[in-house]
A and B are shown apart, each in its own frame.
Chain A
């Protein structure tokens, strides 16, 4: 009797260990695969062009060189301009977007708001059916006349049904009695929203704000559609896209810094630009990730 009990215990223990070892191996390898490509970009950006031409991209620079960065920063005008556009866009867009998402989510969750189901459906429906790219493009360029205007990038990114639904499920946890008691005390709807609801939903605001900010920081699609090369300063990711896809762009900036055409570090310059354009996000992200996980977790548990 005792022996069978012991052997059963033993069996259970080994199965647990097996699962753990599979886990360490599998997740460890996968996590490594997620990280390595970034190191590859970083390593290549510090490799001299001749070493790249000889032995290809590498994690560890065979011939260390900061020449690519030197050329990128030789004429910092363009990259600083793109940085400013993206930073301003991210700050303004996130602030306005967050306020609008919070307002909408709160209003749609208030039980005494008569049309809340109809408006919810009005918003949700846009995820089911849409006019598509061509009419959207014509709307922005020919009806709203926003071509080559930063608003064409800023405005469409402000709201999304997904974020509103997320906000709604957060607000659901705040008892309606709070709103009602504040009303009895004579507070208006906006006072209730600003002074009571917003402070109570800080975790939600942090998560949703991060979503919006990340969207603006990584924005390239609308800027590619609506900001033409006539504009000197465009968004950071579009700047990177141009460096990657057009050799002309790289040649021009090399010419501007008096580098012979054959000495242009074409490949390492692409990587150096990528590092410069991505840098801040990567630096912030370990701190920010916590909020993301918290936000997604709360959203997932509440359904």
Chain B
């Protein structure tokens, strides 16, 4: 019964792997992969020399760290607060509203950002105008984009992510909570000393999963928010995956794209192994493998 799955992963995941050989050649469309000239580490040298590799690595990792840290903090906060709510109606309605952004496509998210940020018609500038402030040119100011992207990410993922934590809190033994109340713990103490420690294993597992993807971006988000060819913003918005996409679809530089992919895969692989090793040392029960 596993056969279709084995065939699937063999074809779509394993067969492209030898294609990473592209990273070591000067790919030429007419000569094909095995006819093109061998270039050794030339592609990598070029990436380092132009500074591209450093910029991509920095952006990718910085965004991911912000996503992971702020994302988990917000998800835990929402889950803990939801658990304190007494009104069932409020819980239901607010969860439904927070879950909504998870259901729509990245394309629509890009349009929504445009709705808010557009220089001429965006609601942000309407508001600034009515307050007597100067309008902002979001689509040509690189400095604004780390905030825009992180906020959009949080907007989209918090409702979905908080459910996992909420579910974990549900598993908390109510007798422990009652005992703490008899001992005189107030709501803040209960959260601080019982609920949050209880969520630690869930947090570690999710952290490990996300560390594994620390060099994988969130292509749809970046691509649709920023647009395909907004060079003015590259300094703060270009991540590994947008670079690879461009080298494939815009620059047709297949070798450079593959070199970056190989770097991404190897780096990510090492990060997972290291993170897992660290977790196994600290608390063996929580490691992935």
Q: Show the binding face of A for B, using Cβ within 8 Å.
A: 8, 11-12, 15-16, 18-20, 22-24, 26-28, 30-35, 37-38, 40-41, 44, 52-53, 55-59, 100, 103-104, 106-108, 119, 122-123, 126-139, 143-144, 155-156, 158-159, 164, 189-190, 193, 214, 217-221, 225, 237-238, 240-241, 244-245, 267, 270-271, 274, 277-278, 281-282, 285-286, 289, 292-293, 296-297, 300-301, 303
Say whether, besides A31-B98, A103-B4, A136 and B244 are in contact (CB < 8 Å).
no
Instruction: Tell me whether A100 and B5 are in contact (CB under 8 A).
Output: yes
Q: Is the CB of A164 within 8 A of B12?
A: no
**CB-CB nearest 10 A-B residue pairs:** A135-B19, A132-B261, A131-B16, A15-B186, A135-B16, A218-B105, A23-B81, A297-B167, A31-B97, A126-B13
* Interface residue B142 (Cβ < 8 Å from any Cβ of A): no
Given the interface contacts A15-B188, A57-B118, A285-B100, does A122 sit within 8 Å of B241 by beta carbon?
Answer: no
Q: Which residues of B contact A (CB under 8 A)?
A: 1-2, 4-6, 8-9, 11-20, 22, 33, 77-78, 81-82, 84-86, 90, 93-101, 103-108, 110-112, 114-116, 118, 120-123, 125-126, 155, 158-160, 163-164, 166-168, 170-171, 181, 184-188, 191, 202, 205, 212, 219-220, 224, 227-228, 241, 244-245, 247-249, 254, 257-258, 260-262, 264-265, 268-269, 272
A289-B96 contact given A34-B159, A55-B126, A103-B5, CB 8 Å threshold: yes
Q: Which of B1, B188, B244 contacts A19 (CB 8 A)?
A: B188
**Which residues of the other chain, A, contact B241 by a CB distance below 8 angstroms?**
133
Q: Which residue of A lies closest to B101 (CB)?
A: A34
Q: How far is the CA of A57 from the CA of B116 in the complex (A)?
A: 8
Q: Given A15-B186, A35-B97, A44-B115, is A22 in contact with B9 using a C-beta cutoff of 8 Å?
A: no
Q: A57-B115, A123-B5 are in contact. Are A286 and B96 (CB under 8 A)?
A: yes
Q: How far is the CA of A296 from the CA of B95 in the complex (A)?
A: 14
